[in-house]
Structure 1
């Protein structure tokens, strides 16, 4: 129950969670939970709901002067976690992908999402790994699908690195440069919801287009 409460609190208010970790763990060990959350979200298909985007933004806020985190360290830790997480996800899929999909135990891994990712790979190729970095849920599943046979490891590694650096840098630097503004501080929860909403928007638009196309076909 404590773990569940902690996860709910993290999703609802990542700023409060990071502040508590800084106080409890200090300026060095605080990077351990930050690394683990991003690694688990990107590395294990069972945890696509973890708040990657909002966590990066909030960490960027605390990386400003006097916030308790160091910008260079924050970027390095998150980029490492994002790249290593995707790499882990890829190799899990190479060895166990078919069995995991067929088991149906990953409820969020629906046939519709798999089909959508298949279309992404057909249309964008390796860029799918970069594009889906900015899409919650899909960024967790894309490296898994890549590992089931869509991409060789060398090509995957290149796009994985580009996507990881772009994703982490974008959200951390947004928080770093704009998180200290009074408006952002006063409406932080709303800003976090907007970040999540903008991240999810491409998936919603894609689903709507697919539904319209399916109805037109009928």
Structure 2
């Protein structure tokens, strides 16, 4: 039991994943990216920090995956992120209305779904692009899109654009910042916390104010 708990603790340390798992780290990265966007329980997974760290360890990923170019690695991640959103859309399409009535659990909080819907109503389909960079909204935006039955072709256009923008920007940022500042690896946690705080907190506060105004 303690071994399982230790694993989940380390799961939130992206550096540990790449250093400990070596050849299989890339597949763990793909699994987390898919789960984070494909299931509502994925909102707590370290997607941004994992992509950023993947950029830092980009050369190792390439060597461990048939020596493909880093550009191909990013495309594979973007493809899996696209599939994850498609799974989220399907989940919302099939059970979206039931999710709004679902009781809160450890993995599911209905308020997150409501806030994500407010976020989607404000930014429309472009929310699928913006939400890629916001941990909680990233998991719930495709579910909301499916629940309100937006046109699937339109959904896929913004889904693909969002996946490409998210993966390329964050992974390339980690890749090139590491080349310019090798000591970046020693301050990774603080950088990720800063990114999450500056991008997520203002939007959550704004949407909560709007939610109260509607009540």
Q: Which moved more, 1:33-42 or 1:195-204?
A: 195-204
Residue 113 in 1 paired to residue 108 in 2? no
Q: Which moved more, 1:101-110 or 1:128-137?
A: 101-110
Give the CA deviation at 1:107: 5.4
**2:30 counterpart (18, 35, 42):** 35
Instruction: Work out the CA distance in 2 between the residues paired with 1:183 and 1:96.
Output: 46
Partner in structure 2 of residue 80 of structure 1:
79
Instruction: Work out the CA distance in 1 between the residues paired with 2:159 and 2:144.
Output: 13
Q: Structure 1 residues 117 and 168 mapped into 2: Cα distance closer, same or farther (>3 Å)? A: same
- Structure 2 gap segments, 5+ residues each: none
Partner in structure 1 of residue 171 of structure 2:
172
Residues 89-118 of structure 1 deviation map (CA, whole Å, 9 limit, x = unaligned): 111121122223322255565454333333
Instruction: Work out the CA distance in 2 between the residues paired with 1:147 and 1:192.
Output: 30
Partner in structure 2 of residue 200 of structure 1:
200
- Determine if contact 2:35/2:42 at 8 Å carries over to the other structure: yes
Instruction: Work out the CA distance in 1 between the residues paired with 2:80 and 2:155.
Output: 16
Q: Structure 1 residues 149 and 107 mapped into 2: Cα distance closer, same or farther (>3 Å)? A: farther
Equivalent residues, number: 209
SS of 2:89 mapped into structure 1: helix
Partner in structure 2 of residue 17 of structure 1:
17
Normalising by structure 1, we get a TM-score of 0.83
Give the CA deviation at 1:68: 4.7
- Structure 1 gap segments, 5+ residues each: none
- Determine if contact 1:38/1:78 at 8 Å carries over to the other structure: yes
Instruction: Work out the CA distance in 1 between the residues paired with 2:105 and 2:75.
Output: 30
Instruction: Work out the CA distance in 1 between the residues paired with 2:152 and 2:15.
Output: 36
Instruction: Work out the CA distance in 2 between the residues paired with 1:189 and 1:110.
Output: 26
Matches within 5 A, 1:26-105: 26=23, 29-64=24-59, 68=63, 70-105=69-104
What is the Cα-based RMSD across aligned positions, in Å? 2.7
Q: Which moved more, 1:199-208 or 1:46-55?
A: 199-208
Instruction: Work out the CA distance in 2 between the residues paired with 1:153 and 1:66.
Output: 33
Residues 9-67 of structure 1 deviation map (CA, whole Å, 9 limit, x = unaligned): 121x2012112121xxx2xx432111101000110112210000000000000114798
Instruction: Work out the CA distance in 2 between the residues paired with 1:105 and 1:208.
Output: 18
Normalising by structure 2, we get a TM-score of 0.84
- Determine if contact 1:45/1:106 at 8 Å carries over to the other structure: no
